[in-house]
Structure 1
Amino acid sequence: MASYAPVATDMDPVDPMSSSTGSVRGRRRGRGKSDIGHTGQASWISCVINLANTILGAGLLAMPSALSKMGIFLGIFVIAWAGLTSAFGLYLQTRCARYVDRGHVSFSALSQLTYPNLSVLFDSAIAIKCFGVAVSYLIIIGDLMPGVVEGFAPDVEIGFLVDRQFWITAFMLIIIPLSFLRRLDSLKYTSIIALCSIAYLVILVFAHWVIGDIPAAERGPVRVFQWSGPISALAAFPVIVFAYTCHQNMFTILNEIKDNSHFRTTTVIAGSIGSGCVLYILTGITGYLTYGDNIKGNIVSMYPTSFFSTIGRLAIVVLVMFSYPLQIHPCRASLDACLRWRPRSASRQADSSPSRSALLNSPRPAKIPEMGDLRFAIISTTLVVLTFMTAMTVTSLEKVLAYVGSTGSTTISFILPGLFYYKISDPDSAHHQRLIKDEDDQDDFSRDDAEGPDAYESRTWRRKMLRTLSLGLVIYGVCVMITCLAINIFASAHN
C-alpha cells in the first residue's frame, strides 16, 4: 500500500509543534507517494532541465514567423494559451500518477487501468511521433553541418566535409552512447549544453534586433493588433501549440524525481513551461521586429553569413543532437509496451476483473516488468539503426511530420492526459475509491477538520471541477487535431 509521509523542504520545513492549519498544509505540500524498494534520485533542477530541453527545440526559431502571421498581440496570447493548456496536460499526468505505484507510472500502465484494449494504439502513436521527431533531428544535422563548414572555411575543397551523410554518420558516434542510457536523469548534463545553445540563439536574435544591422530594405511592415488573415493565422497555430510537446517524458520524470510531492512536481511543470513561454515570446517579438513581414521560416537562416550566425547554426546542431536521446527514451518504452501487448477479450476481462470490495482491499495493480538488459539493447539498437537509415535516405519529412505531429502531439499532450484522468477519477471507479481509501488510511482527510468544516466539501468540489476540465482538455485536443489535419490537407492541395 502506498504511504504518505511528511518531507521537509527548504521552503516548507515540517514542524510537529506548529499550529494545526499550518502543519497540515506543510505536510500536504511535502507529501509524496513512496514505494518500497524504489527511491528517486533525480533532483528538482535536473527534472526542470530535461523537461525544458524536451520543450525547447528548433521550433523556437520559427516563432517570429508565426507572429508575422498572427500579429504581436494575438501571437503572444496564443503562445501563452498553448503553454497553459500544455501545462494543464502535464498537471493531469501528475494527478494520474497517484493511481500507480511510485516508479512504475507510464502511459502503458495507465492504459491498463483505463482502456486496456486501446493501449497498443496509444503507445503506437507515441512511438511513431517520437521516432519521426528523432529522424528529423538527424536530417537537420545533415542539412546544417555543410553550411557550418562553409561558414568557417569557405574555401574548403574536401568533398566529404560538405556531405550531409558524412555528418549524420559522424554525429551518430556521439548520439549512440547517449541513446543507451536507461535513466532520463543521466541526460541532465547534455541537456544543460543544449540549453546553453538555446541561450546563445536567443541572445543572437535579441542582439540583431538591438543592433539593428539588418538593412531597412529587407524589413517589412510590423503588425501589432492586425493579422494576415484567418488562413495564415491557422497555418501558424500548430507551430506554437506543438512547441510545448514534452508530455512523453513527464511520467519518466515523475518516476525518477527524488521528491515527488505535489508542490515539487507542480513547480517542475511551472519552471519548464514558464521558461519556454518567456523564451518563445522574447524570440518571437525581437525576431519579428527585426525583419517584419519579410521573415520566413527559421530566422537564423536569414541572417547574413558571419562568424556569429555560423555559430548559431552550429548551436542548432548541438541542440538537436542532444535532444535526440530525449525522443528515443519514450519511443523505446512505448515500443516495448506495444510488443508486450496482448488483446483482452470481453470474457477474459470479465473473469479477471475482481469485485469492488476485493479491489479496494487488494494491492495495487501488477507492475509492468522492467526491460531486461538484452531486450533493452535490442530495442535501442533497432531504433537507432532505423532512425539512422531513414535520415540517410530521406531528405525531408516535412509532410509526414505534419500529419504525425497533428495526431501524435495532440494525443500525447491533450487527449491522453484528459482521457486518463477523466476515466480513472470517476467517483464510482474502484481505482479512485481505493486511492481515497489509501489516503483515509493515512489520516489525510481526517485532518480537514483542522482547516474548517467546509474543507471536505471544498476538496470534493475541486475534484469535480478538475474532472470536468480534463474532459474539456480532451475536446480541445480533438479540435486541435481536426484543425491541424485540415490545414495540412489544404496546404497539400495548394502546393
Structure 2
Amino acid sequence: MMSDEWTESGQDDQSALVPKDATQHQESARASFASSVFNIMHAIMGSGILGLAYAMSSTGIIGFSLLLLFVAVTAAYSVHLLLVLCEQTALTTYEDLGFCAFKITGKVMVAGAILIQNIGAMSSYLFVIKSELPAAIAGFLHNSYNGTPWYLNGQILLLITVIFVVLPLALLPKIEFLGYTSGLSILFMVYFTIVVVVKKWFVPCPLSNGTVNYFQNFSSECKPKLLQISSKSAYAIPTMAFSFLCHTSVLPIYCELKRPSKSRMQKAVNIGMTLSFLIYMLSALFGYLTFYANVNSQLLHSYSQYLPRDPVIMSVRICILFSVLLTVPLIHFPARKSFMLLFCSSCPFSWLCHILVTLVIQTVIVLLAIYVPNIQNIFGVVGSTTSTALLFIYPGLFYLQISRESLKSSRKLKALGLIILGILIGAVSLLVIIITWLHNEN
C-alpha cells in the first residue's frame, strides 16, 4: 500500500487543500475518472497479492471468498465515511481528519499507524527481493553449486540492492518521475495473475518427485478444501486488510479528480476495489489450486522452487522485482513524512535530518526483511494492527467524533459497528498469531 504524496514533509499539511477558486491551470491538471480508478488500484495492489493463496489454503475456497468479499465491501464503506467527512470539513488528508477529531492525539494516531503500515509494506517488498532475486539470477545460470555463492545469497543481494538502488532513490527530495513509472506495477500484477491461471494447467498434482527436493513429500491429496479453520486462519483477514488498504491515498486522489464529488469518487473507489477484488480472487484461487495445502506463504516462491528455469515464471519474477524496486522508494516518502510529523514536526527541512531519518527507516525495514522468517508474519502483524486501525477503526471513530448527525443515525451506528469489528478482528487475530508463534517455538 502506498500514498500518492511524493513531496517532502516540510510543508504544511493544509497546503494540500484545493481552493474552490482553482485556476484554469489547476483544472487542466486534474485527473480523469479513469486515471483516478487506476490510481486507486495502484494504491490498493501490492505485495499482499503474494500471500492470498496461502490465506485461501488456511480458510478454504468458500471461507476465503466470503472473507475477501466482506473485507472489500467493508473497505469501500469505510472510504465512504472518509469521503463524507472530507465533504463536511473540506480536509483532504487522513492526518488532518485525525486532528479535526482528536487534535494532536488524533494526528499522531494516524501518523503512527501510517508509519508502521508503510514500514510493514516496505519490509514485505524487501522480503520479496531477498527471496526472489537469487532465484532470478540462478535462473540464468546453469551451473551446479556446492554451497551458496555470494551472488546467490539473498541477504547479501538485499543489502547491495538497498544501498545502490533503493537508498539513493529514497534520498531524493522529490520523486515524481517514479510515480509514472511505477504505474507499471498494476500491469505486472495483471500479468502475474494471468500466469498463475495458465500455469495451473501445466503443473501436475501431485508434484513430480525429484523435480526439487522441497516437493518430494508433497501430499498426494489434490482435492481443494471448501471450508477450513485452523490457527493459520488467523492470518487470513489481516492479510486481506493489508491487501485492501488504500485509505491514506483516497483523499489526495479525490482532490485531483475532475469535477470532484463524493458520489463520483465513491464510484471510482467501488470500481477500483471491484477490479482489485477480481485480480486478487483469481490469483489466490488458481495459486491455491496449483499447490493446495503446500502453497508457500509467498506464492511466487512456490513457482520458483518447482519451476526455477521456466521462462514465463522467470519473466514474472523479473517484473515483480522491477515493480518492487520502483515502489519501495515511493512508499518511503509518506513513511518519512509520518516520522517527521511524529518526531520533528517543528523542525524546518534540513538535509542532515532528511538523510538521518531516511537511514533510520531503511535500516529498520532491512532488518525486518532479513530476520523475519516468513512474509506471512509481516502480513499478519501489520494487518492485524495498523491495517485494521486505518481500514476499520479510525474511519468509524473519526465519523462518530466529527459528524453532527444523531447518534442513532444509520451511518453512526454503522461507524460504531466498524470500530467494534476492527477491534475484535485485530485483537483476536494478533492473539492467535502470538500464541501460534509461542507454540511453534516450544
Which bin holds the TM-score, normalised by the shorter protein? 0.7 to 0.9
Matches of 1:388 and 1:334 in 2, distance apart? Answer: 14
Matches of 1:34 and 1:490 in 2, distance apart? Answer: 51
User: How far is the alpha carbon of 1:404 from its aligned partner?
Assistant: 3.6
User: How far is the alpha carbon of 1:179 from its aligned partner?
Assistant: 4.3
Structure 1 residues 159, 67: closer, same or farther in 2, change over 3 A?
A: closer
The structure, 1 or 2, with the larger RCO (C-alpha pairs under 8 Å, 6+ apart) is 2
Single out whichever of 399-408 and 89-98 deviates more from structure 2: 399-408
Q: Which deviations, in whole Å up to 9, do the C-alpha atoms of 1:162-202 show, x marking residues without a partner?
A: 35444544466554575468889755422321112212211
Q: Which residue type is aligned with residue 239 of structure 2?
A: V
The residue matched to 1:426 in structure 2 has which SS? coil
CA contact (8 A) 1:128 1:404 kept: yes
User: How far is the alpha carbon of 1:113 from its aligned partner?
Assistant: 1.5
Percent identical residues: 22
Q: Which residue type is aligned with residue 70 of structure 1?
A: T
Single out whichever of 192-201 and 310-319 deviates more from structure 2: 310-319
CA contact (8 A) 1:139 1:168 kept: no
Matches of 1:305 and 1:95 in 2, distance apart? Answer: 49
User: How far is the alpha carbon of 1:83 from its aligned partner?
Assistant: 0.8
Match of 1:467 among 387, 412, 422: 412
Are residues 1:324 and 2:328 paired? yes
Single out whichever of 155-164 and 411-420 deviates more from structure 2: 155-164
The aligned residue for residue 133 of structure 2 is 145
Matches of 2:283 and 2:125 in 1, distance apart? Answer: 21
Match of 1:50 among 29, 39, 43: 39
Structure 1 residues 405, 383: closer, same or farther in 2, change over 3 A?
A: farther
Structure 1 residues 36, 161: closer, same or farther in 2, change over 3 A?
A: farther
User: How far is the alpha carbon of 1:409 from its aligned partner?
Assistant: 1.0
- Counterpart mapping for 1:180-219 below 5 A: 187-213=178-204, 215=206, 218=218
Q: Which residue type is aligned with residue 125 of structure 1?
A: A
User: How far is the alpha carbon of 1:234 from its aligned partner?
Assistant: 3.0
Q: CA RMSD in A?
A: 3.3
The residue matched to 2:371 in structure 1 has which SS? coil
The aligned residue for residue 94 of structure 2 is 107
User: How far is the alpha carbon of 1:205 from its aligned partner?
Assistant: 0.8
- Counterpart mapping for 1:218-367 below 5 A: 218=218, 220-227=221-228, 229-303=229-303, 304-306=307-309, 307-339=311-343
Q: Which deviations, in whole Å up to 9, do the C-alpha atoms of 1:328-378 show, x marking residues without a partner?
A: 233233233324669xxxxxxxxxxxxxxxxxxxxxxxxxxxx97x35x66
Structure 1 residues 238, 474: closer, same or farther in 2, change over 3 A?
A: same
Q: Which residue type is aligned with residue 389 of structure 1?
A: T
Matches of 1:185 and 1:421 in 2, distance apart? Answer: 32
CA contact (8 A) 1:86 1:414 kept: yes
Q: Which residue type is aligned with residue 107 of structure 1?
A: Y
Q: Which residue type is aligned with residue 59 of structure 2?
A: M
* Larger-gyration structure (1/2): 1
TM-score (norm 1): 0.71
Matches of 1:114 and 1:486 in 2, distance apart? Answer: 29
Structure 1 residues 322, 264: closer, same or farther in 2, change over 3 A?
A: farther
The aligned residue for residue 405 of structure 1 is 383
Q: Which residue type is aligned with residue 412 of structure 2?
A: R
Q: Which deviations, in whole Å up to 9, do the C-alpha atoms of 1:193-232 show, x marking residues without a partner?
A: 11122122111111111334455565633335332x3434
> Unaligned 5+ residue runs, structure 2?
1-16, 209-217
Matches of 1:96 and 1:202 in 2, distance apart? Answer: 36
Structure 1 residues 62, 199: closer, same or farther in 2, change over 3 A?
A: same
Matches of 1:294 and 1:73 in 2, distance apart? Answer: 18
Single out whichever of 46-55 and 91-100 deviates more from structure 2: 46-55
Structure 1 residues 216, 240: closer, same or farther in 2, change over 3 A?
A: same
The aligned residue for residue 417 of structure 1 is 395
Matches of 2:167 and 2:59 in 1, distance apart? Answer: 40
Matches of 2:87 and 2:414 in 1, distance apart? Answer: 18
- Counterpart mapping for 1:57-68 below 5 A: 57-68=46-57
The aligned residue for residue 12 of structure 2 is none
CA contact (8 A) 1:50 1:191 kept: no
Matches of 1:127 and 1:50 in 2, distance apart? Answer: 21
The residue matched to 2:182 in structure 1 has which SS? helix
CA contact (8 A) 1:108 1:337 kept: no
Match of 1:386 among 360, 372, 391: 360
Q: Which deviations, in whole Å up to 9, do the C-alpha atoms of 1:403-440 show, x marking residues without a partner?
A: 343211111111111111121112389xxxxxxxxxxx
Matches of 2:266 and 2:57 in 1, distance apart? Answer: 33
Structure 1 residues 165, 256: closer, same or farther in 2, change over 3 A?
A: farther
Matches of 1:278 and 1:205 in 2, distance apart? Answer: 14
Q: Which deviations, in whole Å up to 9, do the C-alpha atoms of 1:9-58 show, x marking residues without a partner?
A: xxxxxxxxxxxxxxxxxxxxxxx985345746342333333332232222
Are residues 1:35 and 2:36 paired? no
TM-score (norm 2): 0.79
Structure 1 residues 169, 99: closer, same or farther in 2, change over 3 A?
A: farther
Matches of 1:396 and 1:47 in 2, distance apart? Answer: 37
User: How far is the alpha carbon of 1:81 from its aligned partner?
Assistant: 0.8
Matches of 1:424 and 1:258 in 2, distance apart? Answer: 27
Matches of 1:408 and 1:208 in 2, distance apart? Answer: 35
Q: Which deviations, in whole Å up to 9, do the C-alpha atoms of 1:42-75 show, x marking residues without a partner?
A: 4233333333223222221222222222221121
Matches of 2:416 and 2:336 in 1, distance apart? Answer: 29
The aligned residue for residue 26 of structure 1 is none
Q: Which residue type is aligned with residue 223 of structure 1?
A: P
Count of aligned residue pairs for this structure pair: 398
